[in-house]
Chains A and B, each alone.
Chain A
Amino acid sequence: GENVGLHLPTLSVQEGDNSIINCAYSNSASDYFIWYKQESGKGPQFIIDIRSNMDKRQGQRVTVLLNKTVKHLSLQIAATQPGDSAVYFCAENIGGTSYGKLTFGQGTILTVHP
Chain B
Amino acid sequence: ETGVTQTPRHLVMGMTNKKSLKCEQHLGHNAMYWYKQSAKKPLELMFVYNFKEQTENNSVPSRFSPECPNSSHLFLHLHTLQPEDSALYLCASSGEMNTEAFFGQGTRLTVV
Contact = CB atoms under 8 A, between A and B. Distances in A.
Contacts of B94: 98-100
A98 B45 CA distance: 12
A18 to B, nearest CB: 24
Given A98-B31, A99-B94, A104 B103 contact: no
Given A42-B105, A43-B103, A101 B56 contact: yes
Contacts, number: 70
A99 B43 contact: no
B107 to A, nearest CB: 10
A107 B42 CA distance: 7
Which of A3, A4, A49, A98 has the largest number of chain B CB atoms within 10 A? A98
A22 to B, nearest CB: 16
If over half of B's interface residues share one DSSP class (helix, strand or loop), that class is named, otherwise mixed; here it is strand
A36 B101 CA distance: 10
Interface residues of B, number: 29
Interface in A29-47: 32, 34, 36, 41-46
A100 B48 contact: yes
A99 B31 contact: yes
Which of A42, A44, A98, A100 has the largest number of chain B CB atoms within 10 A? A100
A107 B103 CA distance: 16
Given A91-B43, A106-B42, 13 more contacts: A36-B103, A43-B92, A46-B100, A95-B56, A98-B31, A98-B55, A99-B101, A100-B31, A101-B33, A101-B45, A101-B48, A101-B56, A107-B42
